[in-house]
C-alpha cells in the first residue's frame, strides 16, 4: 500500500499549527488600538490550523487512484533557484542575531531579487537597502518589535 503524502503532511502542519496556537495564547494580545506581542501569533496560529484542517479533510476525501498532474518539485534552473532561496533563508536565520536585522534583510532581499532575474546591480542594491530600512522602521519604530542590531549596531 502506497503512503499518501498529502494527508500526512497536512496532519503535521495541523499539529504544528495547534502547538503554535497554544503557545501564542500565553502572550499578551493587547487591544485593537494597541496590539500586544501575542496578537499576530494568535492570528497566524488560527490561520495555519484552519488551512491545515481544510487541506487534511480535502486530502482524505480525494480519490487517490488517479495520478496527480504536474511536477512535485521543479527541475533544472527552477530547482537551482528554489534550492538557492532555501539556502539564503537558512543563512538569514543563522546570521540574523550576530550580524543584525538590517544587514541580513538587505542581503536576503538582494539574493531574492537576483534569483528573480533582476540584472542591474544598482537597482538590486538600492531596492535591498530601501526594503531593509522600510521594514526596520515598520517593525522597530511603529510596531515596537525588538530586532537584533548585530555587531555593527549593538
Other residues' Cβ atoms within 10 Å of the Cβ of residue 36: 12
Tens of pLDDT, residue by residue over 127-142, are 999 999 999 888 888 8
Mean pLDDT for all residues in the chain:
85
Tens of pLDDT, residue by residue over 4-27, are 678 888 888 999 999 999 988 888
109 lies in a domain?
A: yes
83 with 97: CB under 8 angstroms? no
Q: Are residues 88 and 46 in the same domain?
A: no
148 lies in a domain?
A: no
DSSP E strands in the chain: the ranges are: none
Between the CA of residue 133 and those of 78, 100, 104, 118, what are the distances in Å? 30, 13, 12, 20
In whole angstroms, what is the distance from residue 69 CA to residue 40 CA? 36
Per-residue pLDDT at 46: 95
Q: Are residues 9 and 56 in the same domain?
A: yes
Q: Are residues 84 and 110 in the same domain?
A: yes
Tens of pLDDT, residue by residue over 34-82, are 877 788 888 999 999 999 999 989 888 865 545 556 556 678 888 899 8
End-of-domain residue from the set 61, 91, 109? 61
* Number of folded domains that form the chain: 2
Instruction: From 60, 133, 75, select the one nearest 101 (Cα to Cα).
Output: 133
Domain that holds residue 87: 77-142
Phi, psi for 30 (deg, rounded to 5): 75, -150
Amino acid at each position: 500500500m502506497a503512503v499518501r503524502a498529502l494527508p500526512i503532511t497536512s496532519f503535521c502542519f495541523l499539529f504544528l499549527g495547534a502547538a503554535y496556537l497554544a503557545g501564542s495564547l500565553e502572550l499578551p494580545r493587547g487591544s485593537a488600538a494597541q496590539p500586544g506581542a501575542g496578537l499576530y501569533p494568535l492570528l497566524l496560529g488560527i490561520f495555519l490550523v484552519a488551512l491545515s484542517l481544510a487541506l487534511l479533510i480535502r486530502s482524505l476525501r480525494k480519490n487517490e487512484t488517479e495520478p496527480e498532474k504536474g511536477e512535485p518539485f521543479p527541475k533544472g534552473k527552477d530547482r537551482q533557484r528554489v534550492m538557492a532561496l532555501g539556502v539564503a533563508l537558512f543563512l538569514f536565520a543563522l546570521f540574523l542575531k550576530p550580524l543584525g536585522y538590517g544587514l541580513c534583510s538587505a542581503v536576503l532581499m538582494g539574493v531574492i531579487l537576483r534569483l528573480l532575474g533582476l540584472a542591474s546591480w544598482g537597482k538590486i542594491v538600492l531596492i535591498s537597502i530601501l526594503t531593509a530600512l522600510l521594514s526596520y522602521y515598520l517593525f522597530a519604530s511603529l510596531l515596537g518589535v525588538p530586532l537584533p542590531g548585530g555587531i555593527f549596531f549593538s
